[in-house]
């Protein structure tokens, strides 16, 4: 019985960590990451997909909503389809919630971090979260 409880606790611990770990977006191919990243944002904010648009082959936009609240996710791509940057624009509270949840940062801590070859920064006054590629 103890072994069953131990295995169950380990499984819960692993699933909890993987659910909170951020999706690596930049330097990855858009077609392989946008669904996971968008799903992470939707899960954190409990929003629904509103619209999708494409300005050019290198710019993709997704809009999500919940009541009157709206969040726009903009992907900027290299010519080969890899992601250069992602920008989320919406209410300051929503942007901060995505940042603190996906990147496991305390609400009142740093507004800029570097993880997984990506520079993640939040601009709460502007209601923006920017994830940019670090180019070596």
Hey, is 39 helix, strand or coil?
helix
pTM score of the predicted model: 0.80
DSSP 124: T
d(CA 121, CA 88): 11
pLDDT value of residue 22 = 58
pLDDT tens across the length of the chain (136 residues): 444 333 333 333 333 333 445 568 999 999 999 999 999 999 999 999 899 998 888 999 999 999 999 999 999 999 999 999 999 999 999 999 999 999 888 877 789 999 888 999 999 999 999 999 988 6
Residue 85 tokens, joined: 């940057």
Q: How many CB atoms lie within 10 A of CB 112?
A: 11
Are the C-beta atoms of 132 and 87 separated by less than 8 Å?
Answer: no
d(CA 62, CA 124): 20
pLDDT value of residue 134 = 87
pLDDT value of residue 16 = 37
pLDDT value of residue 135 = 80
Strand partners, 130: 87, 121
Hey, is 131 helix, strand or coil?
strand
Backbone angles phi, psi at 12, to 5 degrees: -65, -40
């Amino acid at each position: 019985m103890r072994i069953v409880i131990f295995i169950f606790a380990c499984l819960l611990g692993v699933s909890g960590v993987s659910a909170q770990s951020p999706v690596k977006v930049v330097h990855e191919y858009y077609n392989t990451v946008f669904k996971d990243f968008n799903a992470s944002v939707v899960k954190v904010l409990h929003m629904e997909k509103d619209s999708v648009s494409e300005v050019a082959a290198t710019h993709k936009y997704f809009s999500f909503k919940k009541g009157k609240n709206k969040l726009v996710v903009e992907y900027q791509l290299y010519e080969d389809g890899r992601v250069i940057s992602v920008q989320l624009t919406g209410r300051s509270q929503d942007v901060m919630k995505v940042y603190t949840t996906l990147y496991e940062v305390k609400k009142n801590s740093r507004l800029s971090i570097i993880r997984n070859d990506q520079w993640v920064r939040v601009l709460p006054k502007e209601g923006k979260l920017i994830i940019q590629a670090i180019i070596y």
